[in-house]
Amino acid sequence: MTGVHATGTDVHLVVADGVATVTLARARTRNAIDTPFSTEICARVQEAAGRADVGVILVQADGPAWCVGGAIDNFLEVGDRMHAYMLELGQSINALVTTLHECDKITIAAVHGAVGGGGVGIMAAHDVVLAEEGTVFALGYSRIGTSPDGGNSYFLARDLGYRRALELYLLNDRIDADRASQLGLVNRVTPRGGLDVAAEKLASTLAAGPWRAQAAAKRLLRRAGDALLARQLEDEVRMFADNTLEQDFAEGLSAFLDKRAPRFRTDKGG
């Protein structure tokens, strides 16, 4: 059974041979996340997760980047509503992260180009991650004076360990696909130009497997360490939003948009 479903132009869903392919199609913004976009992605993933003819959900993206994280340009437009905006955006991203992580389908992220900020958390919520050679990963939160969101604090600590996860946050290192694979952030690295074929082959292989057994294995492995996920997601959103009230966030945002080094001052006596 094959079908195409989309309520808008930014996310597409195609179902064929047991695989639901969700495509992020905001190439013009490098698939930067705002509330409508994350809500639409979540709706398409939920639709795929609810279908009896789907065993695997593959999330890919059009354009030069899989997802660069939050739509920072929008931050300037919300003005005094920043704190409320971040709470709203955070909850919409949390719904997407939770759906990807907790649904009974095997979820695959096929990433390329750049994956940043909340995009890293969304990617890490998938069960399997394929990265094309040349993909660059960076958190970026410390650069704008705030803390992680999108499930990053949970998934990175789980997948990489506390010290490596904190180091990535503190230093805002840009890491390539090979390093991401060594750290355990991605499962496999594909050659340039070979991501789509590799992702389709893996999705087809998994879709030919025992769906109920795979779902049971996912539940068992997930439950082994998920006791804190819901609380962690709530804490992330609250702390991120609270950080936007600080002078450091205003400076970090300004510096980011001006393409200069930030001059943070909070609690430094300046």
Q: What is the mean pLDDT of the chain?
A: 92
CA 19 to chain CA centroid, nearest Å: 20
Structural domain includes residue 267: no
User: Hey, which bits of 112-260 come out as E strands?
Assistant: 114-116, 128-132, 136-138, 175-176, 188-190
CATH label of the domain that carries residue 216: 3.90.226.10
Nearest to 148 by CA among 71, 260, 263, 235: 235
At 80 the pLDDT is 87
pLDDT digits (tens, 9 = 90+) for 212-254: 999 999 988 887 776 677 888 889 899 999 999 999 999 998 9
Residue 64 structure tokens: 């030069």
The proportion of the chain whose per-residue pLDDT surpasses 90, expressed as a percent, equals: 80
Structural domain includes residue 102: yes
Structural domain includes residue 204: no
pLDDT digits (tens, 9 = 90+) for 119-168: 999 999 999 999 999 999 999 999 999 999 999 999 999 999 999 999 99
pTM of the shown model: 0.89
Domain range for residue 10?
3-193+211-258
Structural domain includes residue 203: no
Structural domain includes residue 266: no
- Counted domains in the chain: 1
Structural domain includes residue 199: no
User: Residue 257 — very low, low, confident or very high, per pLDDT cuts 50/70/90?
Assistant: confident
